[in-house]
Structure formats: C-alpha cells, structure tokens
Structure 1
Amino acid sequence: MPKGEGKLLAQNRKARFDYTILDTVEAGIVLKGTEIKSIRAARINLKDGFARVRNGEIFLHNVHISPYEQGNQFNHDPLRTRKLLMHKKQIARLENEMKGSGNTLVPLKVYLKDGYAKVLIGVAKGKKNYDKREDLKRKDQKRDLARSLRER
C-alpha cells in the first residue's frame, strides 16, 4: 500500500502552500485514552502542527485533537505533545535532513490504516512570498485553461 492511503481524516492544505515538500514519511502516533475516538470522528486539526526530533525520538507539537464528547474526566489536553513511532534509521535520516538546511517537519495528513492512526510527515522548506505568488499564478492559468477547454 503506497504512502498516504487509507481513510483520510485530516489534511494540512496550508502546508503545501507555505512549504515546498521535499520528502514524506509515514509514522504512527502514540495516543492516550479517548484521543483515537476523536480522531476517528475526524476532530483533528493539523494547521499549526510541526514535528521535532529530540534525543533520538520524534514528537508532534501543536496538533489539536478535540476532547471526545462522551469522554468526561478521561479526556486529555487537546494540544499535548505526542510521540511518533518510527524506526531509528528513519529518525536519523530525518535528523540529518534537518541539520542546518532551514528545513522543517510538517504533518501533511492523518489517516487510518489497518485500524491504526497514521500521520504523513513531510520534510519541508519554507517558500518565499514570490514563490507563493508564482504558484497561485500557475494555478489560475491551469484553471483558465481547463475552463476554456470545457467550453468548446
């Protein structure tokens, strides 16, 4: 099964606009209690999320998982830092890609795969404002071309 397949629950569309995605890696998420129920209900927001490598482990920061409605006292902090599950070699490779290059790790998608919640992490390089304008211009040209072809 290729990367990113499964039941899509959340997607970070802003990441593709703000960053150039160089590489992607799939990782599992360590969840507590009722968090998986909220994720299955697609109550997750990746907008401001990022990942960071610390002491040979990788952690996901600023990803908001809403409290589960029937969870009462068993709910957890919605913005807590969550550990990601990856092989040591994968983490070391990501760490090497991050060193001194201005790259960052951004969550792109969260989906279910074989009953487990997975996150697609992208190694990203920030875009300048002129790059963003160029992308918007290309997108508009593509849309205009498709519209003109459809009218014929």
Structure 2
Amino acid sequence: MARPQHSTFDKKKTVAENRRARFEYHIEDVFEAGIALTGTEVKSLRFGEGSIAEAYAEIRGGEAWLVNANVPEFSHGNRFNHVPKRPRKLLLHEREIDKLHGAVERKGMTLVPLSVYFNSRGRAKVELALAKGKNAADKRNTIKERDWKREQGRLMRDHG
C-alpha cells in the first residue's frame, strides 16, 4: 500500500525555480519526482547552479524524462564531467506515469517542471506540474490581479 502524499513537499533547499510557469499555465496537479543524476550533476546542483526555465517533461516508452534542463558542468570535474543539457530520467511510480501520459494524450495538457530542490533526506527532486496553457486574455487577467493585490498591499500599509 502506498504512503499518503503530503499536500506540500518537504523542500529543504530550492536550487532552480521556473517562475514563468505559473504565469504561462493553469496548474492542475502537482507531482514530486526524483531525478536520475550523475555525481558531477549532483555536485553542481548542490552549489546552486542549474536552470529549468526552458525545460519540459515528456513520457517516452513508459518512462518520464526531463528535457532541456540545464545543469552546468561542475567546475572541479575532470574528464568524467556530464553533458549540461542531456535528457534526465524522472523517477515516478508506474501508476503516476500512466496518469500523466493519459492527461497529456487525451486532454492536451503539458508537463512543466516548477522547481528543482533537495528534500530533507538530501535527495534531488523535481516538482512537476500537469498544466494547461493560458491564452492572452487569461494572462492579462493574471497581470491585472497581481497589480491589484500589490496596490491593495500598499493601501493597507499606508492607511492600515
């Protein structure tokens, strides 16, 4: 029997964040996935380097892959250093992969990485979202709401 999932994940140290994703997409469901990394990739991430700004995930051959994520070469690495933009395997349960694959195929959704972090046990994890793209009007509404929230905060601070 599977362990119950927490509503929020135990993030200890966030390495990379895709802040643009919440603006570009409606986030439906969020999953936590492990990443299969080599030694120099882990060291590079521990130094706080890495970017998932242009990254996405896809299901290929019954496996989940993180594509286009940039983990720069480790500065003290030697000839065994890694390739910075190689596809990295995501570690998910088969049931979760099937659910994600079905949503992407049937509903036309996208798998977007929201953040890369180390959990309390020191394992590298990816916060993966099942998302649907926003149109231009939705993006304008998001900007309008964000500006209004900022203005509300100013008014409350000045007159509160």
Question: What TM-score do the two structures reach when normalised by structure 2?
Answer: 0.91
Residue identity over aligned pairs, in percent, reads 43
SS of equivalent residue, structure 2 residue 54: coil
In the TM superposition, what are the counterparts of 1:130-141 in structure 2 within 5 Å?
A: 130-141=137-148
Kindly indicate which of the two structures has a greater share of residues assigned to strand. 1
- Aligned-residue CA RMSD in angstroms? 1.1
Quote the Cα distance in structure 2 between the aligned partners of 1:23 and 1:108: 11
- Residue 129 (structure 1) aligned with residue 151 (structure 2): no
Quote the Cα distance in structure 1 between the aligned partners of 2:27 and 2:50: 21
Check the 8 A contact 1:8/1:111 in 2, yes or no: yes
TM-superposed CA distance for 1:33, in Å, is 2.6
- Residue 150 (structure 1) aligned with residue 151 (structure 2): no
In structure 1, runs of 5+ residues without a counterpart are: none
Quote the Cα distance in structure 2 between the aligned partners of 1:50 and 1:64: 11
Q: Which runs of 4+ in 1 moved over 6 A?
A: none
SS of equivalent residue, structure 2 residue 79: helix
In structure 2, runs of 5+ residues without a counterpart are: 1-5
Quote the Cα distance in structure 2 between the aligned partners of 1:14 and 1:75: 30
Question: What TM-score do the two structures reach when normalised by structure 1?
Answer: 0.96
Question: Which position in structure 2 is the counterpart of 1:41?
Answer: 47
In the TM superposition, what are the counterparts of 1:1-152 in structure 2 within 5 Å?
A: 2-3=8-9, 5-113=11-119, 114-152=121-159
Quote the Cα distance in structure 2 between the aligned partners of 1:90 and 1:3: 16
Distance 1:94 1:4, change over 3 A: farther
> What are the superposed Cα offsets for residues 92-125 of structure 1, whole Å, 9 maximum, x if unpaired?
1111111132211010011101111000000011
Check the 8 A contact 1:33/1:74 in 2, yes or no: no
